[in-house]
Amino acid sequence: IYVELGERRIPISYSRKVVMQNQNKRIMNYIPIKLNLSGVIPPIFASAILMFPTTILQTSTNPYLQAINDFLNPNGYLFHVLTFLFVIFFAYFYASIVFNAKDIAENLKKQGG
């Protein structure tokens, strides 16, 4: 829960001149960026991709397809290793889609940051 709701606040300082006092006054704001941008989407995608072949191959009588099905058994070692790798891949992939740095940079330029 802490990681899912956690955020990193990146400070932004806007400088505006105060006409009466001829001094620079700083206004502090921040950009809230979630620590876990992708949320629970990567484990869902990983399990869906890994369970699809096993679901299809369950009824196969071909020995080669049965061997593939045995390797992708959800209780097996390979299944857990592939799940781990797919979760990492989808976490980076989904975060790169959700977090658009160019849009944030353009918004900061428009606001004078």
Kindly give the confidence (pLDDT) of every residue in the chain, 113 residues in length, as a single tens digit, with 9 standing for 90 and above. 666 677 778 787 766 543 444 455 555 577 777 777 778 899 999 999 999 988 898 888 999 999 888 888 889 889 999 999 999 999 999 988 888 878 878 877 777 65
pTM of the model: 0.68
Q: Could you give the residue ranges of the DSSP H alpha helices within the chain?
A: 2-5, 41-57, 63-71, 77-98, 101-111
38, burial (CB in 10 Å: exposed 0-12, middle 13-18, buried 19+): buried
The residues that bridge with 16 in the sheet, in sequence order, are: 25
- Closest C-alpha among 29, 43, 21 to residue 112: 29
